[in-house]
Amino acid sequence: MIINMEEQVKAYLEKTGTNRLLIDMTPDMTNSGCGCGKTKKYYTPYIRAAKADEHFENYIHCNINNVDIFLSPKVLEAAEEIITIRLEKLCL
């Protein structure tokens, strides 16, 4: 498993004083637009800063560029070989 972190993320983490990230997969439901009423479960990646007092016993811990990253088991199931952490700005 390779974890890449883009330079913008590193700069943002330094600016905010954060050095811990949680990467998880949140469940969601869809009807797939089939009109048959059956719903399917799928997972969406979720990344956030981890709080200093949080503990992640069932998560895989790794350290990339002095940033502690905690990966849920679902992330390892979903990721093929490479995880890329990037920062995107959304304008609504």
Q: Is residue 62 part of a domain?
A: yes
* H helix or E strand, kind and range, residue 75: helix 73-78
Q: Is residue 2 part of a domain?
A: no
What pLDDT sits at residue 12?
Answer: 87
Q: Is residue 74 part of a domain?
A: yes
Q: Is residue 73 part of a domain?
A: yes
The pTM assigned to this predicted structure is: 0.76
What pLDDT sits at residue 37?
Answer: 60
Tens-level pLDDT at each residue, the chain (92 residues): 788 888 888 888 889 888 999 999 888 766 555 656 666 667 788 888 888 888 899 999 999 888 999 999 888 878 778 888 888 775 55
What pLDDT sits at residue 40?
Answer: 67
Query: How many distinct structural domains can be found in the chain?
Result: 1
Segments forming the whole domain that contains residue 74? 20-31+39-82
What pLDDT sits at residue 69?
Answer: 92
What pLDDT sits at residue 26?
Answer: 84
Q: What residues have CB less than 8 Å from 3, skipping those under 6 apart?
A: 62, 64, 69, 82, 83, 84, 85
